[in-house]
Amino acid sequence: MDKSVTNFNVRLRTIKIRELIAGIIITAILAGISTLIFPEIYESDELFFIVFLLIGALLFAWALRGTRGLDQNIENIFEENTKKEIIYVFVINLLFAFLFTFLISYLDIIMGLGDPTWISMWDVDTVDIDSSVIILDAIGAIIFAPIMEELIFRGVLFNRLKIRTGIIPAMIISSFIFAIGHDFGGITSAFVFGICMCILYLKTDNILVPMSVHFINNVAATILELLGLDAIISQLPWLIPSSIIAVIGTVYLIKYIVKETGQLKKQYS
């Protein structure tokens, strides 16, 4: 990390992978110490997750202290073209993520037709979850996860890899590492989402742009999960029209990635 750099965006690009690893280790140590001081943190996985991410965010704030330009980054995300692209990328990624759920639903229906004893994937017992757990999960997913994941995977990992491997390999590697931290069913959609975040970051040189998409995405995912809307639209009669919309969104997503990566390759070749 080059502490002599005073521009926020440039200082972020100078943070090295080994410094990131050292920061993660320090964060883990401090989070562990916090559980000794406050046993409540140890007893709650959700609370520990928040504390861990909070410590990591504070370390990033320390690393980026004394820089200028963050206020300009904030202004940029409210520019008309940027706002439109943020919403567009969010929508097409959300539709792509739903496509896999819909495919599983079709398989579920087919299995049910062939086997009368088949238990539908949507036929599950509801479990009462403590409201405090829901709130902590939402705070971690909506507030801290978009900040830390974008700083780590795009701000540091992607930035350092593109110097050594080039833009496209850096997108693939950083997005793959980002994806494997997600649930098995969401690895593919997380990988594609990571690719899109790399594109947005590279186009704007503003980490707040992919953070904004990530934030909106996690808000939507949290709401859908809490209300059970994903289960509703994944069953008949909503399944067929929802699937058609998801396929259309996937086509636009593919076109977006192909077009933007092609332009970026020309720009940085």
- Rounded Cα gap, residues 174 and 47, in angstroms: 27
- Give pLDDT tens digits for 165-222: 999 999 999 999 999 988 766 899 999 999 999 999 999 999 999 999 999 999 999 9
Whether the link from the prior residue into 169 is cis, omega within 30° of 0, is: no
Average pLDDT over residues 40-60: 92
Residues 122-175: pLDDT tens digits? 555 555 566 778 888 888 889 999 999 999 999 999 999 999 999 999 999 999
Sign of CA dihedral 55, 56, 60, 63: positive
DSSP 191-260: HHHHHHHHHHHHHH--THHHHHHHHHHHHHHHHHHHHTHHHHHTSTTTHHHHHHHHHHHHHHHHHHHHHH
CA distance 249 to 255: 10
pLDDT (mean) for 236-255: 91
